[in-house]
Amino acid sequence: MTSTSLEPSQTGRQRIAYGGAEPQFVDFHLPTGTGRPPAVAVLIHGGYWRDRFDLTLMDALVADTLRRGMAVANVEYRRMGNGGGWPGTVQDVADAMALVRKHWRKWNGAVPFVAVGHSVGGQLALLNAAAADAVVALAPVTDVSRVDDERLGEDAAVAFMGARAADLSSEYAAASPLRQLPFGCPVLVLHGDVDARVPVGHSRDFVKAARAAGAPVDYREVQGMDHLAAIDPSASHWAAAAAWMVAQGTR
């Protein structure tokens, strides 16, 4: 694994690579001030694993999370069209999480490192929950087999996995957070009840299964919220989600 640092931008961003491919990097951001942040937010974007969507989807959350005093690591990873797919995309996020811990080792154990994933970013955050102190899953993909069954995301699952669920049952299970329960860290799941890209029933069933497995999962269903509003910091759910992230440091 490589780690090449680029010069910080005028906005205070520092980009560091965790691999040799162009999309394998993390953008690090520090809040103003010199004190210890209440949390490190590791943001993982969605886009049904396709390369036309990138980490700029999380720009509004980056700005808001910084304003709340947290440090931010915005993760980019290989996607379909630029070298991604199962299982490499999941490994990319694992390598990115390791880089975040290394980059901010002085805070490791002192402040919570919270993975915040949206859509398939939620899947990637949950599959890498062992590397985080907590996970916030925003309208997450939790069952890739169900994504295939329901032909969601313009048949995104078969493109990501390489075949239908019926032909790769064990691989689909390994790619599905629902099949990896329980997780060892606190998880907050937020989902809008009018989400058409990842229907809310996916999260309802995931939370039910997680609680049955003894996993520490909080669930908040947001009335009238669609898929993209889950990453809108002006939406009604976000202030409480940010407070939940900070509260992990007091557990």
Residue 48 predicted with pLDDT over 90: yes
The pLDDT assigned to 34 comes to: 67
> What integer best gives the mean pLDDT of the chain?
94
Residue-wise burial string across 30-62, b where 16 or more C-beta atoms lie within 10 A, e elsewhere: bbeeeeebbbbbbbbbbbbbbeebbbebbeebb
Residue-wise burial string across 153-181, b where 16 or more C-beta atoms lie within 10 A, e elsewhere: beebbbbbbeeebeebeebbeebbbbebb
What are 79-133's pLDDT values in tens digits? Answer: 999 999 999 999 999 999 999 999 999 999 999 999 999 999 999 999 999 999 9
